[in-house]
């Protein structure tokens, strides 16, 4: 078997953003509604600041209204709660995203719970988790939604496929399982306590790695021809000892890519696979939220 096909998340995400932009323009033209995304960040973490800036830029590129609220690290719970409530009440804001992690003195679960579920474009609110679990329309976490879109683009129908997810987080693993069940897959959620994890992985037609451990999934764990979605983004020391000594790093996934690419049928690279889909799906969720809040059926993205 030759090397696997690479699933180009960067190119696919660009096409999603383009489709969202067209749909948003149609919404503006037909109903005078401009999707509005508010992003809240607390503190000065450079990586988070850059990520928030990129989210704002991508929202503007898609023709959205972008509202960035950057608060100092010492912001207290009451001030943050008051901001969330004001955004909940603002008709120009259709989507609210609070950049995580928050400073340790703030209660993250309380902040997320304060967001109106219909504006919760991260899909983390317990109401949206419940909607997903029982099959009602809601807002779905962006990363698993992006994974599902990549899988459908690569494979078409997923009906009947054996899917294994390694990782059981509320952000990726659990919602990914619900989405794949909704697509008529047979789903196994595996994790650090799973007995004979390599053998469980080898059953998979679709293998989703979301465990947060660098290159944990080896090539020998993958069924020949399987489709592999690598959600992991891990920084490890650079393989060149001289560069590693200077503190240089490289980004790897949860899958040992050089091994897996020789076995899998298709695989997402890291970087350039799942990562770009997260912001694309954030914009898609914001567009969907704007339509629903305006009593309009969203276009299929």
Among residues 118, 120, 122, 230, the one annotated as catalytic is 122
Whether 55 sits among the annotated catalytic residues: the reply is yes
**Would the pLDDT of 300 be above 90?**
no
pLDDT digits (tens, 9 = 90+) for 66-91: 999 999 999 999 999 999 999 999 99
Average pLDDT over residues 268-275: 95
Global confidence as pTM = 0.94
C-beta separation of 231 from 254 below 8 A:
yes
Whether 184 sits among the annotated catalytic residues: the reply is no
Percent of the chain with pLDDT over 90: 86
Among residues 55, 118, 174, 205, the one annotated as catalytic is 55
pLDDT digits (tens, 9 = 90+) for 118-157: 999 999 999 999 999 999 999 999 999 999 999 999 999 9
- Distance, CA of 247 to CA of 63 (rounded, Å): 39
Domains of the chain: 31-118 (3.40.50.10860), 142-275 (3.40.50.720)
pLDDT digits (tens, 9 = 90+) for 203-215: 999 999 999 999 9
- pLDDT value of residue 1: 60
**Would the pLDDT of 231 be above 80?**
yes
Closest CA to 206 of 160, 172, 168: 160
Among residues 99, 118, 174, 254, the one annotated as catalytic is 99
């Amino acid at each position: 078997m030759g090397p696997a096909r690479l699933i180009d998340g960067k190119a696919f995400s660009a096409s999603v953003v383009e489709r969202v932009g067209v749909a948003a323009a149609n919404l503006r033209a037909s109903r005078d509604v401009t999707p509005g995304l508010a992003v809240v960040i607390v503190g000065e973490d450079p990586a988070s600041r850059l990520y928030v800036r990129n989210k704002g830029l991508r929202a503007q590129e898609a023709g959205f209204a972008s509202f960035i609220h950057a608060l100092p690290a010492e912001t207290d719970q009451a001030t943050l709660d008051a901001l969330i409530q004001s955004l909940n009440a603002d008709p120009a804001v259709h989507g609210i995203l609070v950049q995580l992690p928050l400073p340790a003195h703030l209660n993250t679960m309380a902040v997320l719970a304060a967001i109106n579920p219909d504006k919760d474009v991260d899909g983390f609110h317990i109401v949206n988790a419940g909607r997903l679990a029982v099959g009602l329309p809601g807002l779905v976490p962006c990363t698993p939604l992006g994974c599902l879109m990549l899988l459908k683009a690569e494979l078409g129908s997923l009906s009947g496929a054996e899917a294994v997810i390694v990782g059981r987080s509320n952000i990726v693993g659990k919602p990914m399982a619900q989405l794949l069940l909704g697509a008529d897959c047979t789903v196994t959620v595996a994790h650090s306590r799973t007995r004979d994890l390599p053998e469980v992985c080898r059953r998979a037609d679709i293998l989703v790695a979301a465990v947060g451990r660098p290159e944990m999934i080896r090539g020998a764990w993958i069924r020949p021809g399987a489709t592999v979605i690598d959600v992991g983004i891990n920084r490890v020391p650079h393989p060149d000892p001289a560069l590693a000594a200077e503190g240089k790093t490289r980004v790897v996934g949860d899958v040992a890519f050089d091994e897996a690419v020789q076995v899998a049928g298709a695989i997402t690279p890291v970087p350039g696979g799942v990562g770009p889909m997260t912001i694309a799906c954030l914009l898609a969720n914001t567009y969907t939220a704007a339509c629903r809040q305006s009593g309009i059926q969203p276009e299929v993205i």
